[in-house]
Amino acid sequence: MSQIELRNIRKTFKVYERPEGKWALLRGAFSRTVRAVTALDGISFTINEGELVGYIGPNGAGKSTTVKVMSGILTPDGGECVISGRVPWKERKPHVARIGVVFGQRSQLWWDVPVSDSFSLLRDVYNVPPGQFQKRHDELVETLDLGGLLKTPARQLSLGQRMRCELAAALLHSPDILFLDEPTIGLDAVSKLALRAFLREENKKSGVTMLLTTHDMDDIEALCSRVMVIGRGRLLYDGGMEGLKERYAAYEGQDIDEVIAAMYEELAL
């Protein structure tokens, strides 16, 4: 059953460019050139309940914009997006109550307070019943080994520690869908392996639907049975990893990063 449906989603941003030259700063105060940048150019796909899907593409391809549309942060210029029967930007409160989002370069933890206080604040934000919250809290603390971090302010955590706490924060209210935007960026090998193992188990045990955007192809290969490739705001491939290898690998056993690089080169991305 389709849980996420996107049909012909389009999104364009305006970019203001200042003039160049000796008097550019002065001229820029009175006039600026406006350039339209197309982030999404008719994206369409469906994702079923419980799927763990990789969403890849070069920088500027439109991955994060897609996630922001699906999470209700951005309103598209056109097209339809229905997630669990709701339009994200029109029914934002009930929508965000059933999704979790992890942005690798942004935090949902309060920077200067202990992690446990951030968790308590999120419990109130999502209005999670105390008994339900405590059960889920204890489960996540044990699984992600957060016991020694709960009294530490977020600003004092290492990147790996913070990402484990970010995952817990996104899952405390037991969402149906988890959007992961580059969650392993900057992590060491040990932290990446631990995060992958947790995501795999969470998807299997709880049936949480996951969409993972990343530049780390090892993440995709280790976690996802299905991969979607986006470039210049268009969906270019939707299928299994083996299909990508068959189409773009120069020789058998070629490294997945080399396969993706060959694909980007062939498609002029």
What's the CA gap between 163 and 179, in Å, rounded?
A: 14
SS3 state at 8: strand
The pLDDT tens digits of the residues spanning 58-92 come to 888 899 999 999 999 999 999 999 999 999 999 99
Instruction: Catalogue all structural domains in the chain, each as residue range(s) with its CATH number.
Output: 2-98+175-266 (3.40.50.300), 109-173 (no CATH)
The pLDDT tens digits of the residues spanning 41-56 come to 999 999 999 999 999 8
Does the predicted model carry a pTM greater than 0.95?
no
SS3 content of the chain, % helix, strand, coil (to 5): 40, 25, 35
Q: Name the stretches of the chain with pLDDT < 50.
A: none
What pLDDT does residue 190 have? 86
What pLDDT does residue 132 have? 95
CA 68-204-142 angle, 5° bins: 90
The type of residue at 37 is: V
What pLDDT does residue 106 have? 79
CB < 8 Å & 24+ apart, contacts of 143-147: 143/198, 143/201, 144/168, 144/198, 146/115
The type of residue at 124 is: D
Checking phi first, is residue 249 left (phi over 0); if not, alpha (psi -120 to 50) or beta? beta
